[in-house]
Structure 1
Amino acid sequence: MEMSGFLQKLISKSQLLKDLKIQHCKGEVEIDSSNLESIEYIGYEIPKLKIARQLKKLKIDHSCSGSLKAAWFYNLRKFLSNSTSCPQISLWFSQCNEINLTELHYGVATPKVDVLNVSCRWTNGECATFLDALLWSCHPRRLNIQSTSATFKCFINRLIYLKNLSQYSPWHSQFKEAQVYMFDFDDDKSQSWRPVQLKIGELSTRIVSETVDYFFLLDW
């Protein structure tokens, strides 16, 4: 089932409805159905789910245009926890601000995500608590990021910090290791993924443009 346009509230009670797809929704969506098995969602607000059992599959494509607060990451974590399988989540962020990490409340277990695609459109580069809050909201196996080179360096340094912190803090104790790869050009101008050494300081690979595509393979 596919729906488009402005949706304030969606209540699904059909005994036959198993798969739901919502596209290009600009309003808040509330889904209430104990019969759904999978949801695909494209929109600008994180949906609210009222279901009697966990979904088998959840896939979302979400654009966040406003400033971020701890409550937003909590809502994302709560939303993703409603599914036993999250194969791919895509998030677009137009701006970044410091997140008050002390306002993050647990309530639900950290959901697992196979692939998390993140596009960071801000240009200031520095946003350390963003990565903390993002990895608090879910534990992706692969984290694909498109950002500026300054943000890339910031995220590398933050991952090292989180890895060291995991030895002392129960909050980060599940994070074990990360492998980093960046999309780069070889000397013969062919394109390829290059491994990046996870260390503070100068990166072990060249940055050829302001926009950088890279990914982390994360071991939890």
Structure 2
Amino acid sequence: MDDDRISKLPTNIVDHILSFLNTPKDLVRMSVLSKTWFHLTASFPDLFFDNYYFISGEGFLDYVEYTTSRFCHHNVTARRLRLVTTIEELAELDIVNRCLERVLKNGVKELMIDITNQYHPEVPNYRLPDILLSVSVLESLTIRGCELPSSLMDDVRFKSLTYLRLYKVHIDNEAIEYLTTSCPLLQTFGIVECNGFDSFCAFGHQNLRNVWIWYNTPVERIDIEAPNLSTLILIDWFGRGAPQVNLASSKSRTTVTYMGCLSVKPNDFTDLLSNFPFIEDLRLVSLRPGNSVKLLSHSLRRLMLDCDLENLELNTPNLDLFVYSSSLSDQSMLRHLTDSKASMLCYPHGYVDFLWFHKLRRFLGKKNGFKALNLYIHTSEKFNELWKLKAIELPPYELQHVELQLDALEESSAQIAFVDVVLWCCRPRSLTLISTSPSTEFEEQSDLALFTYEKLLQQEDQGHTIFKIVSPSSSMFVALPSKGKAISFIKE
């Protein structure tokens, strides 16, 4: 009876098992299971080398050289090659180059190279070999901390490349344009903390869909001629300012995200948006306090923004949804939003006082055309100065619907104060209270429900107005919790 059943497993199953092994130690253990598995691990097309898994780093490059030599002996194309290491000596650059050239000679489909010398500045950055440029089967390329091949501008044969990400790589304007031109199938191009360029230009690119640029030196111009572009992300945490952007040729629905400090010039961002005649989605984070933001767009339908409401002017007649939040980097709160019309969602973080609600009321009165409001504020906030709001002679803003999300475990005076301050700000035809806590049960005779009902009645001039109390089956904005966790008041 043959007991070596493990050697008879189909190759695709063996590959699947080996794909879960990311450390050299695991691969060595697996290779000794049988002679068959010893040869299979040698020719396994996923090569992962990361010196993080070597306690002292000693012997890491020896292991890389041995494994790549053993793999290339089978004369097969690598599916994935990931090499992460820190160079300490000049001789190590030669070892890395020898190993990489050996694999590239037979081709690789997905390549990730992360080679740094951050602790040894006397050692030059590793320069990628010219053979990389001739790997026609390459589909995904990520480079961190390396110099690009010296013959980059002479001959690039990335005919299959769809994904390109450069991180802390020196690249100039001409090289960016040449790369995009030489990669006809490129769909995603990311530049992260690179230097040497001040513009990003890509012309006549039919397949380019996603571009993100995280820059720490000023970028003056972005000019993209790509009719199918769907996403442009600009990250400017160093406060260099928004560049001039031209996406005039984009015919698809384009989402633009800008995270950083807007220019101090009041019309810069308005002028920037004028270059996006087809933009429908915009995410904007402003880190500089006191920025005034004026947005003019007839195509914009979805806006996510972090900015002082007092310094915000919108001229967006077709806007369906405005999400106001200081945590736009956390998209979990936006995943379950339903389609809305002329709606505003507020997720302010930090301390919210009467002054913030005063700003909200003034913002709503700027003829923005909002008909519905969803508001989430930590109900632990104390609205002790509500009397200051009531002393301000502003009528509540008329809305079709208001939804308030409450996060407390049980009804409290803070929730009642929250409802009170919201109804100073707004006069809705219907209002829904939603609990984010599974232990909260809304009851029609509870203090919170009775207070809300009485406040809504007080807003009506006619004494015969009736508000019907129901358990809602749906929400204009978010997926409702299970039964009993929401209550609505509807004007009849």
**TM-score normalised by length of structure 2:** 0.31
Q: For the structure 1 residues 95 and 151, does the alpha-carbon distance in structure 2 shift closer, same or farther, using more than 3 Å as the test?
A: farther
Residue 91 (structure 1) aligns with: 375
Question: 1:112: which partner in 2?
Answer: 398
TM-fit CA distance, 1:215: 0.8
Cα distance, 1:161 vs structure 2: 4.4
Deviation, structure 1 residue 216: 0.8
Matched, 1:159 2:448: no
> Cα distance 1:18–1:12, how it changes in 2: closer, same or farther (>3 A)?
farther
Amino acid at match of 1:158: F
1:212 to 485, 489, 492: 485
Match of 1:199 in 2: none
- Which structure has the larger Rg? 2
2-structure distance, mates of 1:109, 1:22 = 28
Distance change in 2, residues 1:83/1:32 (3 Å): closer
Q: 2:387 matched to 1:102?
A: yes
Distance in structure 2 (CA, Å) of the matches to 1:140 and 1:28: 24
- Bigger relative contact order (CA 8 A; separation at least 6): 1
Residues 146, 103 of structure 1: alpha-carbon distance in 2 compared, 3 angstrom cutoff? same
Whichever residue aligns with residue 60 of structure 1, its letter is M
- Give the C-alpha shift of residue 94 in structure 1: 2.7
Instruction: Report how many residues are paired.
Output: 176
Q: Please give the alpha-carbon distance, in whole angstroms, between the structure 1 residues aligned to 2:313 and 2:421.
A: 28
Q: 1:134 and 1:21 mapped to 2: Cα distance? A: 26
Q: Which residue of 1 aligns with 2:348?
A: 64
Which residue of 2 is the match for residue 26 of structure 1? 306
1:121 aligns with 2:407: yes
Aligned partners of 1:111 and 1:82: how far apart in 2?
A: 11
- Alpha carbons of structure 1 residues 120 and 155: separation in structure 2 relative to 1, 3 Å: same
Change (3 A) 1:26 1:11: closer
Distance in structure 1 (CA, Å) of the matches to 2:417 and 2:362: 19
Does the 8 A contact of 2:442 with 2:484 survive in 1? no
Q: Give yes or no for the alignment of 1:179 onto 2:468.
A: yes
What is the SS of the residue equivalent to 2:485?
A: strand
Inter-partner Cα distance in structure 1 for 2:293 and 2:346 = 21
Give the conservation status (yes or no) of the 8 Å contact 1:93–1:122.
no
* RMSD value, Cα: 3.5
The 3 A distance-change label for structure 1 pair 36 and 123 is same
SS of 1:146 mapped into structure 2: strand
The reply on whether 1:37 has 2:317 as its aligned counterpart is yes
3-state SS of the aligned residue for 1:114? strand
Change (3 A) 1:19 1:73: farther
Deviations 1:145-165 (A, max 9, x none): 21222687232121354368x
Task: Find out whether 1:136 has 2:409 as its counterpart.
Answer: no
Residue 149 of structure 1 corresponds to which residue in structure 2? 441
Amino acid at match of 2:324: G
Q: Which one has a larger percent helix, Structure 1 or Structure 2?
A: 2
Tell me the distance in 2 between the aligned counterparts of 1:156 and 1:86: 26
* 3-state SS in 1 of match to 2:285: coil
1:177-202 deviation line (CA, Å, top 9, x unaligned): 3211025xxxxxxxx69xxxxxxxxx
Output the amino acid matched with 2:392: Y
Q: Which residue of 1 aligns with 2:65?
A: none
Give the gaps of 5 or more residues in structure 1: 46-56, 167-171, 184-191, 194-208
Structure 2 runs not aligned, ≥5 long: 1-278, 327-340, 475-481
Where 2:286 maps in the other structure, the secondary structure is: coil
- Amino acid in the other structure paired with 2:396: T
Question: What SS does the aligned partner of 1:6 have?
Answer: strand
CA distance 1:210–1:58, change in 2 (3 Å): closer
Cα drift, residue 32 of structure 1: 3.8
CA distance in 2, matches of 1:115, 1:10: 29
Residue 27 of structure 1 and its aligned partner are, at CA, apart by 4.1
Please state how far the C-alpha of 1:43 moved relative to its aligned partner. Answer: 2.4
Q: 1:78 aligns with which of 343, 359, 362?
A: 362
Question: 1:113 Cα shift?
Answer: 0.9
